[in-house]
Structure 1
């Protein structure tokens, strides 16, 4: 499927905003409203580089970044304000509202609870999870009981929560919880401390889901990919697998296709976060892989055949991989050509200064995507999600949503 900068501008932003959408790769701590971040920082006496939106955009949340390190710099400020439970609930509520305002009626919000916990202040795992759920649930009730659903027939809003373990963290500075963990396990190797924290996270996630009914639907592993391969967390993912907690893995964002292979074979990944390097065989470093192009081709065929969905984050990839150059060079084109199940996602609405509608517009203006393929992409967001209900409920919700897609497409003269 060839790239084109003009062929499919027929998809207007109005149509894109109105059609139903899902965002399955959405980091809470990377998606705050900038004005809310400022207000929360002032309330909690957190120092920011600037206390104006323009100033934050200029100094922290830029349109372009030099590398992944600069991209991640802003999380120190967002995580700091989110350790206040009131701010955490408000940020979760506002994130749902912002998505609803652009026609996103299903989201899976992911974050690392242990980055926000503060044992000394009583900010525990359970309290963090309830604060996030309370904010999302408040938005859900307001929308589903409002005129959009009851009078206009739009699909209702649903959500799930994905908890992220961290691939790496240091003995201080990452969060009060991680600092405390290193103090308790001072005779352990750093990687062993990291793995203990990850196992604590998945056990707590299953407990809170099962005993308290919170819609914790999945496990993720995030953070520095290079040097912290997925296989080191095999036991963590096995625990999730045994307890029916679905799995996604940040894989192929900053490392070669062998990272994706490990996510699938060692971590039982149901979806892949980013997966960009799948079609970049030159990024493969494993010496035992001699024919890199054939390895990448075989892996891509396996992923396509198994319908393992890829969470595609175009703007984020362009910002963290400046070598890509123009968007037409993004491997999304190869994903389309190889018929992979792809889902358009934002990654971080604030850090990448984007929206779901903007990500769709970029994709549709750059790549040749007929309406049938567009509907497939939308459908994957509802068929490959980790819906908090049972399979029959998920199936009915997906059907309702895709019927609404046809209604919107008909309104705009596509069918």
Structure 2
């Protein structure tokens, strides 16, 4: 008999989160406390009103979706704030049984008031290390270049990524406004990272078409694709990604918010799964998208008909797509499989 999918069951499912932005996942309560401490203005004076304001419900495109990040970044300019925010994000993830998370952000955006770039990385790493000790969640950092910044800035951030290899940073990314800012202009930064045997993932195929994914793969040698929403526009490229098992970091809710898709029901993830592509479900931004990893799995079930067995498959693919050393990944996967078997048996 098929297992009935409930929110509670999905909450208990061990999950991985591979695409979550640090500056898009703050607690509103923390934002208000930090704003008071640092003399920053917030658009609301209580947590619930601020939470509602930060939830993007009126964006017409990706650029408008990104506008609210200036608010969170205003209170992310000190080491103490970064350490706290990273710790709290890991705690929030652990509370919904996320066992592994790769948290991404662009340190250059946290150095606007003079914080050294090294400290913009060291501080979140301290917070994540404390969270792993307190909650048992394994975490890593992905450093992002920004598409609409100069390629030289991306190269600096790539150098920063390499400097933290095997010290908590596992990959380099390219984020930000996609339309009119091609990834190939930043290919030298990706060469820097890949040449040091590190991984790369790139936001692509969200606000621009399959050509953006093509550049991410063939100019920048991305190991994973963030969003990949419009991959279906190029069936040949989709076959390439399937053949070479390139994972796609799916973010259902934010894709609806940014108008990358018309609705949850019309998201191509159902087709991608049926075609056999490697996929993971992710939040993108817990605050701006008012979501959790559990909620993303629930929406895949409610709107796209994913069964329990299929959602388990997605969870396992997420862990297998992690930028972890293979031996560590296999040990984690083994533990997760045993837990899922026990969970499934208990609900049978």
Q: TM-score, normalised by structure 1?
A: 0.81
Aligned partner of 2:160 in structure 1 is: 204
Higher relative contact order (CA 8 A, sep 6+): 1
1:252-279 deviation per Cα after TM superposition (whole angstroms, max 9, x unaligned): 0100101111111111111000000112
Give yes or no for contact 2:4–2:308 (8 Å, CA) kept in 1. no
Deviation at 1:28, TM superposition (A): 0.3
Structure with higher Rg: it is: 1
Aligned partner of 1:315 in structure 2 is: 253
- Counterpart-to-counterpart distance in 2, 1:204 and 1:72: 24
Give yes or no for contact 1:9–1:364 (8 Å, CA) kept in 2. no
1:277-297 deviation per Cα after TM superposition (whole angstroms, max 9, x unaligned): 112x3xxxxxxxxxxxxxx11
Aligned partner of 1:24 in structure 2 is: 18
Deviation at 1:141, TM superposition (A): 0.4
Q: Is 1:142 the equivalent of 2:122?
A: no
Runs of 4+ in structure 1 over 4 Å off: none
Q: Which of 183, 202, 212 does residue 259 from structure 1 map onto?
A: 212
In structure 2, relative to structure 1, the CA distance for the partners of 1:69 and 1:16 (3 Å cut) is same
After superposing the two structures, state which structure 1 stretch, 9-18 or 78-87, moved more. 9-18
Q: TM-score, normalised by structure 2?
A: 0.96
- Counterpart-to-counterpart distance in 2, 1:351 and 1:85: 23
Aligned partner of 2:185 in structure 1 is: 232
Unaligned runs of 5+ in 2: none
Aligned partner of 2:270 in structure 1 is: 333
Q: What secondary structure sits across from 1:231 in the alignment?
A: helix
Aligned partner of 2:145 in structure 1 is: 165
1:56-111 deviation per Cα after TM superposition (whole angstroms, max 9, x unaligned): 24434234533323321211011110112111110000000000101101000000
Give yes or no for contact 2:56–2:257 (8 Å, CA) kept in 1. no
Aligned partner of 1:345 in structure 2 is: 282
After superposing the two structures, state which structure 1 stretch, 79-88 or 372-381, moved more. 372-381
Q: Which of 359, 367, 374 does residue 296 from structure 2 map onto?
A: 359
Aligned partner of 1:410 in structure 2 is: 345
Question: How do 1:3-402 and structure 2 match up within 5 A?
Answer: 10-118=4-112, 121=114, 123-144=115-136, 157-169=137-149, 194-209=150-165, 213-279=166-232, 281=233, 296-321=234-259, 324-387=261-324, 390-402=325-337
- Counterpart-to-counterpart distance in 2, 1:115 and 1:326: 31
Count residues with an aligned counterpart: 347
Deviation at 1:375, TM superposition (A): 2.2
